[in-house]
Structure 1
Amino acid sequence: MMSRKIISASISSTLYALFLSIFFNPYGYNGSIFHSFISSLPMYMIYVVPAIFLYGIITSILSDKIGELSKRYIDVKYISLFISSIFHFLFGLILGWLSLLAAGIFLITDQLLYKKKPTYTGKEAIIFLLLPVGVFISFLSVISFLDFLDLITY
């Protein structure tokens, strides 16, 4: 379960940072929209990735355990998923609707991964850890390259 949660956190934190940098740009659109997007994504990833890895994984495991526990007492087909979803969203309310969105992305990612394959290996989790790191480094590289181009044009 832990490997699947790490993979879910890798995917959902990257998707959530992409969403924030597209729709909530702290720099405004003074220059080009592309440059603003490229500049804001690493800043969001600095905060989003650790938060989802620390808080998201712990609360997701707790939500799933509560959902599994409810299956023992209530004999309904999808009660475990329903209870787990409720707790994902309750834990996601910590910072309002923005963190609720992150909880929803995490829950959907986790459920899609579970439907595809219930168990994942540690090696797969480590490979997926490269996703947020790779996106972060790629965007920083593009920022550096754009700044270099600005430097040589003056």
Structure 2
Amino acid sequence: MQKSNILKEEIPRKVVAASISGSIFAILMGITDPNPFGDSNLSTFQYIRAFFLATPVYLMYSFPVILIYGVLTSAISDAVARLIARRTKLGFDTYFSLVFHVIFGLILLWYSLVASILFFITDYVLRRRDKYNWVSAVKSLVIPVLTIIGFMFVVYLMDIGR
């Protein structure tokens, strides 16, 4: 892929992938570990409330890392995978890219590994769709913001109902 196509199409697609996968990752973290510093014996209502409280916090801390580190390492992974696939004439650039995503995702072990695989899957699905530009990349940044607002609104409604 040419340098101009990378900046015009690939990086914006990866920003969209980061917005989607970052929000999904925060929700998954909220489901699996809604109360990371507290008691693990929660009633159903406490679990749901902790899930809605923890998800925006997970998103606030994980999304910038997924956006910056994820987009950068994913672009590097894809470029190196294309180079290896072209040199070996095997055509397994997707598999090579997955391997590099996993390697870059091992920086914080399981948490970042899950995020990198989720990022890879999201980027792979988006790759099959339309072309992405910088306008769609900027618009996609609304996804994490709306996720935070939505979860905080549910917490607000839970507090009013008490």
Do both share a fold (TM > 0.5)? Answer: yes
RMSD: 1.4
Q: What CA deviation, in whole Å up to 9, does each residue of 1:101-128 have, x standing for no partner?
A: 11100000000100123x2022211221
1:134 and 2:134 are equivalent in the alignment: no
Q: How many residues align?
A: 148
Report the identity percentage.
Answer: 32
- Give the equivalent residue in structure 1 for 2:19: 10
Partner SS, residue 161 of structure 2: helix
Which residue of structure 1 aligns with residue 32 of structure 2?
Answer: 23
Between the aligned partners of 1:38 and 1:63, the Cα distance in structure 2 is 34
Q: How does 1:61-100 map to 2 (within 5 A)?
A: 61-77=75-91, 79-100=92-113
How far off is 1:147 after superposition? 2.2
- Which residue of the partner structure matches residue 161 of structure 2? 149
Quick one: distance in 2 between partners of 1:31 and 1:83? 43
Output the CA distance in 2 between the equivalents of 1:31 and 1:80: 45
Q: Look up the match of 2:67.
A: 53
TM-score w.r.t. the length of structure 1 is 0.89
Which runs of 5 or more structure 1 residues have no equivalent in the other structure? none
Map 1:31-50 → 2, pairs under 5 A: 32=45, 33-50=47-64
Which residue type is aligned with residue 99 of structure 2? I
- After superposition, the C-alpha distances for 1:69-122 in whole angstroms (9 at most, x for unaligned) are 112211112x211211111000000011221111100000000100123x2022
State the AA in 2 paired with 1:68.
R
Please list every run of 5 or more consecutive structure 2 residues that lacks an aligned counterpart in the other structure: 1-9
Runs of 4+ in structure 1 over 6 Å off:
none
TM superposition shift of 1:30: 4.7
**Aligned partners of 1:31, 1:144: CA distance in 2, in Å?**
18
- Mapped partners of 1:42, 1:15: distance in 2: 11
